[in-house]
């Protein structure tokens, strides 16, 4: 057999005795340090790293081409070179001025007798129509004015009946008095509505209508008090309770505040035809 010359690994030395023999085994098991052949990662301050982080030339060219294409497309969309009239809103058709200033066919001049007669006739017809309308408005106002006087007389009679049969009459008499007073109140209310709908003749009778409305309101306020008194009368209440509503409007000796106002202004506010 061939004898191989294999070196023997010894410890630190035989001079250390038994301790050297025990340390030799540990020394045999120790691994030598091996350096890596792969270079370590460069730091952030490295010039190579800064270069690697910059966009590539191809990326820059693609981005520039996309920006140019987008700008060009927007310009074409706004200007529409293939249809310049797309955004024009005014008329593109020339107006026909061939007949501009042409008065049309005239059968007679304005200053001739025939035209003057026609104008006068039209004016007279318009005036007659206006006069007729004004006369109708006045007549309607006058009719309502006369009705106000009639209803005022009915209220006077109702008060007279109230102070007699209303405080001492039979149940049937009191019922009749109440029915009459209520009907008068309804008539007055309807008359006020009619006055509000009158034609004032383009303002000619506006003041007269306002005066009639005031007269009507005075009658209605007086009528409300009279109806309230008759309502107490049919219950066979005492005279003091029956006449209490009239006392509220100043009733004394057959008259009251609203009656006085009405009589002081009724004749003065009679409408006059204009």
Nearest to 147 by CA among 139, 158, 159: 139
Nearest to 148 by CA among 270, 13, 23: 270
pLDDT tens-place values along the chain, 274 residues long: 555 555 555 545 444 444 444 444 454 555 666 655 565 665 555 555 555 555 667 777 888 888 998 888 887 777 767 666 666 665 555 555 555 555 555 455 554 444 444 445 455 545 555 566 778 999 999 999 999 999 999 999 999 999 999 999 999 999 999 999 999 999 999 999 999 999 888 899 999 999 999 999 999 999 999 999 999 999 999 999 999 999 999 999 889 999 999 999 999 999 999 8
Q: What is the full DSSP assignment across 219-247?
A: HHHHHHHHHHHHHHHTTT--HHHHHHHHH
CA dist list (Å): 105 to 96, 100, 101, 180: 19, 14, 12, 71
Tokens at 194, concatenated = 């009619």
Pair 238, 170: CB distance under 8 Å: no
Q: How far apart are the C-alpha atoms of 62 and 55, rounded to whole Å?
A: 11
Tokens at 198, concatenated = 């009158």
Q: Residue 195 burial (CB < 10 Å; 0-12/13-18/19+)?
A: buried
Nearest to 165 by CA among 180, 151, 176: 176
Q: How far apart are the C-alpha atoms of 267 and 28, rounded to whole Å?
A: 149
Tokens at 172, concatenated = 């049937």
CA dist list (Å): 87 to 71, 77, 79: 20, 12, 9
Q: How far apart are the C-alpha atoms of 256 and 87, rounded to whole Å?
A: 81
* Most distant CA pair in the chain, distance: 173
Q: How far apart are the C-alpha atoms of 267 and 146, rounded to whole Å?
A: 11
Question: What pLDDT was estimated at residue 54?
Answer: 58
Tokens at 58, concatenated = 């191809």
Nearest to 165 by CA among 178, 156, 155: 178
Question: What pLDDT was estimated at residue 89?
Answer: 60
């Amino acid at each position: 057999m061939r004898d191989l010359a294999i070196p023997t690994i010894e410890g630190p030395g035989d001079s250390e005795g038994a301790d050297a023999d025990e340390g030799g085994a540990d020394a045999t098991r120790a691994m030598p340090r091996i350096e890596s052949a792969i270079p370590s990662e460069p730091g952030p301050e490295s010039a190579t790293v800064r270069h690697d982080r910059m966009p590539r030339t191809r990326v820059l060219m693609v981005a520039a081409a996309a920006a140019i294409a987008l700008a060009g497309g927007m310009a074409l969309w706004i200007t529409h070179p293939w249809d310049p009239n797309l955004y024009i809103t005014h008329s593109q058709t020339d107006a026909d001025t061939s007949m501009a200033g042409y008065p049309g066919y005239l059968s007679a001049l304005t200053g001739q007798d025939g035209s003057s007669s026609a104008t006068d006739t039209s004016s007279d017809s318009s005036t007659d129509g206006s006069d007729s309308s004004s006369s109708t408005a006045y007549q309607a106002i006058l009719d309502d004015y006369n009705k106000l006087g009639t209803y005022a007389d009915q209220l006077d009679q109702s008060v007279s009946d109230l102070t007699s049969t209303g405080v001492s009459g039979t149940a049937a008499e009191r019922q009749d008095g109440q029915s009459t007073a209520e009907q008068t109140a309804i008539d007055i209310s309807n008359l006020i509505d009619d006055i509000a709908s009158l034609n004032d003749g383009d303002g000619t009778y506006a003041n007269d209508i306002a005066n009639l409305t005031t007269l009507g309101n005075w009658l209605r306020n007086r009528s409300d008090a009279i109806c309230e008194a008759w309502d107490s009368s049919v219950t066979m209440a005492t005279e003091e309770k029956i006449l209490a509503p009239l006392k509220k409007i100043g009733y004394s000796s057959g008259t009251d505040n609203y009656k006085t106002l009405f009589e002081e202004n009724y004749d003065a506010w009679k409408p006059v035809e204009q």
